[in-house]
Structure 1
Amino acid sequence: MSFAFAVAAVFLLFFGLGVRRDRRRFGNAVLLGLAVTFLGIGLIAGIDDAPPGVAESVMVVALLVLGIGPVVLAGLLTWNGVKMVRKEGRSPGNLLSLLAGLGMFGVMALAVSAAAIQSWTLRIVVVTTLFVLGYVSFLFVCFVGYAYLYGRMRIRRDADYVVVLGSGLIGGRRVPPLLASRLDRGREVYERLAAYERRDGDAPVLVTSGGQGPDEELPESHAMADYLVARGFPPEAVVREDRSRTTEENMLFSKELMERDRPGSSCVIVTNNFHAFRAALSARRAGVNGQVVGSPTAAYFWPSATIREFVAVFLQYKVVNLGICLTLILLGALAWASR
């Protein structure tokens, strides 16, 4: 028990150092997840020393969570996926929560079949699948947990720019609700920064960042700026970055613009809450001195969007992550061949 607590303390120390160095690192999420995991192991190991009745209650709750939790989660994901398709259409990104829920039901059915058939091969397949899913699920929980913490950072007061990231337009020219949420949040951040007393005396600038897609009549940044100005935002405080097509290009081209006008400047980047942590990782890779904040998103949209964000981050570290998954699969194959 004390060993687990000691390991948790070490990981927590490294987590604190990592956050102090740069909060925009996925490694921070993993270190926090490992610290919490070993803390949980230590608590479980010491359950025998708990007052009478506590150990039994904890075991009952744990069994309920392990037994019923996956079924409930799979059902909720499937239900959310159906709702997502009805509201947003059948694009691959909108199907993610539905596929995740159906996939969980599939794994559970496979496990039941392996127990009923008594097949060695099927058992190895199930165990290997659970190990791979366990690894991916651990990273997913780390991602969601740290993204939640990152999204609750205080907004810096000394930023020179507010950069609002674009998204697709409706009908090729109108701002959709998702993007309107970002713009409203960006205006709120701008007004908060403008209210602070600045040492250089210069007012902050809001950058709308987004190029023109093949199905759009004008660059997203222009539609975004028009949306703000039509609602009373001062036009002289808006700068349009109209070349970017991806989040990475949002960062790079906005950085060029900021460095051109105010070298060494800092910024607050605004996107939707589900996208904030991945955008922070992109900002770090692009060398942007910026904090990312999120705007509200409809609850039904969050599961599929979060899964999509996690997949993108998972593949950013594909050498390590796919290497570990392939190693687990190889170990399963060796266990099957050794019989």
Structure 2
Amino acid sequence: MELRFESSLFIVYFLGLILIPIWNKVRKSKGNWLLYELGWFLACLIFYLLSLEVKSRTYFIGIPLVFLGIFLFRYFKEKRRLSNGLLFNLFLISFGGYLGLLAITTQDPLLILFLVTLFIGLLLLLLVGLYAIIIFLYWNALIVWRKEGHSLANLLTLFLAIGLTGLLVLDYVSGHFLPQWMASLFAIVPMILIYFAIVFYNFLTISIIYQFNRPKYTQDYIIVLGAGLIEGKRVPPLLGNRIEKAIRFYNKQKEKTAKTPKLVMSGGKGDDEHLAEGLAMKQYAVEKGIPETDILVEANSVNTLENMRFSKEVMEEDFGGNGYQAIFTTNNFHLFRAGLFARQASLKANGIGAKTAFYFLPNAFLREFAAILLMRKRRHAMFCAAIVLLNVLLALLQLLTSSLAAG
């Protein structure tokens, strides 16, 4: 009976794998069908796990469900929180613990095989992951160097690759040639890097989750966040992608609900620019067929926070109050940080992200992460100071112990 159930589930699962891309092609969807495949796999896995729970009369699934419930409650209450990334990762950790507990309890061969495969994959990732990351970062730095120029902001992946290479050398030297107390002092650097790696992972988690915003087609305004202009007067491809994203939403909303939103082009005039970014963006949108009457311009902001604050003022003046609905568009790597600034400006708006060339994403996310760190620099400085203090105390203790032993 159990074999028949498992066989039937596998047949249904593989049928889904085959039919999903066909269904996606028939409906002419531009969405990523791999996400549907992942969703289908998770649905079948959860169904199988629930069947094991029923047979063994256990309720272990309640453990990860509690963490998932906490994450979902906090996320839908306010999506623009960095702590949401930590909450989601706590759910993943609890789900992993749940799988292990269920495997021990039920001794199910398929679940054990799945966990062993997963464990081997994670082990290989730990063994070669850092080396693979370093090689990838050097390769990516070379691509960005060739395509985007040699500015400091475009060299972040190169700096990180060099730093990680130095870390490997430092780890080898401290482990083979230094006394234990001195090795504890040298451990300060890798421990701080591990701390920032965890912070980055949480940031990356919520940044990816935030990409899945699906705003309702009931918006009154779509804010387009500005960026620099080419030769001080022309819209570059990066900014053009933001405007195109807003135009697609604009047209889709008109098609679905007949409610026409207004585009708010937000961007001031830089020192090296001939006109305000907002005006250049308006001209770009008009050339794409958007009526001038559907475009508002905010031409005073010089950063993302001011984009949000001044756009809010423009919308309130145009709407005659604050009861409007609004979203904003920017590039996908900038989406979550822009959401943080919208929250800081008391603007109730979430964003939709325009696609960015893959080769540019690692450098762009590192730049975003650096900006996120600066937003909460006092908190991170306190954690780093605590790591330094603990390691210095440990080194002093080890030095004292070794001196007493030698005496």
TM over 0.5: yes
The structural deviation recorded for 1:225 is: 0.7
Query: Unaligned regions of 5+ residues in structure 1, if any?
Result: none
Question: Aligned residue for 1:219?
Answer: 276
Query: Unaligned regions of 5+ residues in structure 2, if any?
Result: 1-57, 399-407
1:207 pairs with one of 255, 261, 264 = 264
CA contact under 8 A between 1:24 and 1:277: conserved in structure 2? yes
* Counterpart Cα distance in 2 of 1:47 and 1:111: 37
**1:289-328 Cα shifts (integer Å, max 9, x gaps):** 2120100111111111101111211222222222112211
CA contact under 8 A between 1:5 and 1:38: conserved in structure 2? no
Question: Aligned residue for 1:35?
Answer: 91
Question: Aligned residue for 2:369?
Answer: 310
TM-score norm. by structure 1 comes to 0.91
The structural deviation recorded for 1:13 is: 2.6
Question: Aligned residue for 2:357?
Answer: 298
**1:29-82 Cα shifts (integer Å, max 9, x gaps):** 121122223433554677765747666655543332111011001110121112
Query: After alignment, is 80-89 or 39-48 more displaced?
Result: 39-48
**1:83-119 Cα shifts (integer Å, max 9, x gaps):** 2122222222111111111211111111112222143
Number of residue-to-residue matches in the alignment: 335
1:79-228 matched pairs, under 5 angstroms:
79-197=139-257, 203-228=260-285
**1:261-311 Cα shifts (integer Å, max 9, x gaps):** 112212110000000011111111111121201001111111111011112
Sort the Cα spacing of 1:46 and 1:236 in 2 relative to 1 into closer, same or farther, 3 A.
same
TM-score norm. by structure 2 comes to 0.76
Structure 1 ranges of 4+ moved more than 6 A: 4-7, 45-48, 52-55
Is residue 345 of structure 2 the alignment partner of residue 286 of structure 1?
yes
**1:214-243 Cα shifts (integer Å, max 9, x gaps):** 000000011111111122221111111000
Matched residue SS, 1:338 = helix
The structural deviation recorded for 1:178 is: 0.4
Is residue 301 of structure 2 the alignment partner of residue 241 of structure 1?
no
* Counterpart Cα distance in 2 of 1:285 and 1:154: 22
CA contact under 8 A between 1:150 and 1:277: conserved in structure 2? yes
Matched residue SS, 2:257 = coil
* Counterpart Cα distance in 2 of 1:96 and 1:158: 40
Matched residue SS, 2:260 = coil
1:26 pairs with one of 65, 82, 92 = 82
Is residue 291 of structure 2 the alignment partner of residue 231 of structure 1?
no
The structural deviation recorded for 1:149 is: 1.5
Q: Which amino acid aligns with 1:116?
A: H
Question: Aligned residue for 1:69?
Answer: 129
Quote the RMSD (CA, aligned, Å): 2.4
Sort the Cα spacing of 1:179 and 1:53 in 2 relative to 1 into closer, same or farther, 3 A.
closer
RCO greater where, 1 or 2, for CA within 8 Å and sep 6 or more?
1
CA contact under 8 A between 2:181 and 2:396: conserved in structure 1? no
Is residue 379 of structure 2 the alignment partner of residue 323 of structure 1?
no
Answer with 1 or 2: which has the greater Rg.
Answer: 2
Query: After alignment, is 35-44 or 323-332 more displaced?
Result: 35-44
Q: Which amino acid aligns with 1:314?
A: L
Q: Which amino acid aligns with 2:393?
A: L
* Counterpart Cα distance in 2 of 1:204 and 1:53: 53
Matched residue SS, 1:314 = helix
* Counterpart Cα distance in 1 of 2:247 and 2:282: 11
* Counterpart Cα distance in 2 of 1:118 and 1:40: 38
